[in-house]
Amino acid sequence: MSLFPKTFSIQSIFAGIFAVIFFGLSFTMAISALVSVVEGVIDGQELMQLCLKAINTGVISLAVFELAMVINKEYGGDQEEHDVIVMLRRTLPRFVGTVCGALALEGLIMIIKYSQLDLAGNLYYPVAIIFSSAFLLAALGVFLKLSPDGHTQEATSIVVGSERTTKHEAVYAM
């Protein structure tokens, strides 16, 4: 998959532009995380706080990178897929999984930070973030379960002769 499509349309041009922007932002955030750790170590700052900030920035960078990958794959490609449900079933789990991982990690980092600073009263926020991440992941599972899958629908209904029958019945009819 290239950033530059073989055929040009408005959709593929804008997809390429946005993909390049998000790839650049992701790269810049990753480099910024590394530079901030190196500068903090040189300045003598606490290593644990530096690592937590770097992980936070790295996770956001990963989510932005995943967004760029989804945009590039789904909208910048040469094949024209017009079925929105198929596109969502293909890309949404990967992106939502990355976002859920980022949210859960952010919540855990906040729990560690607040417990080190003896701010137990503020633990409601990271716990809410972790529960939100779990709810988002569960909602993704419900969406995937309830949304039609084009491949299984085609595989379960086979035309045998002039009547429509299921795949299981077709095997026994042979």
Per-residue pLDDT, 41: 92
Per-residue pLDDT, 164: 52
Question: Cα–Cα distance between 59 and 97 in angstroms, integer?
Answer: 12
Q: How many CA atoms lie within 13 A of 75 on its CB side?
A: 17
Closest Cα partner for 98 from 131, 125, 136? 136
Per-residue pLDDT, 159: 47
- In tens, the pLDDT along 2-53 reads 555 566 778 788 888 999 999 999 999 999 999 999 999 999 888 888 888 8
Per-residue pLDDT, 114: 83
Query: Which residue ranges in the chain fall short of pLDDT 70?
Result: 1-7, 76-83, 150-174
pTM for this model (two decimals): 0.64
Per-residue pLDDT, 135: 95
Amino acid (1-letter code) at residue 118: D
Note whether 167 and 158 are within 8 A (CB). yes
Question: Cα–Cα distance between 119 and 111 in angstroms, integer?
Answer: 9
Q: Residue 40 has which token pair?
A: 């903090």
β-strands 163-166, 157-160 pairing: antiparallel
Closest Cα partner for 59 from 26, 13, 85, 21? 26
Handedness of CA 129, 133, 139, 142 (dihedral sign): negative
E strand or H helix at 34: helix 10-43
Per-residue pLDDT, 157: 47
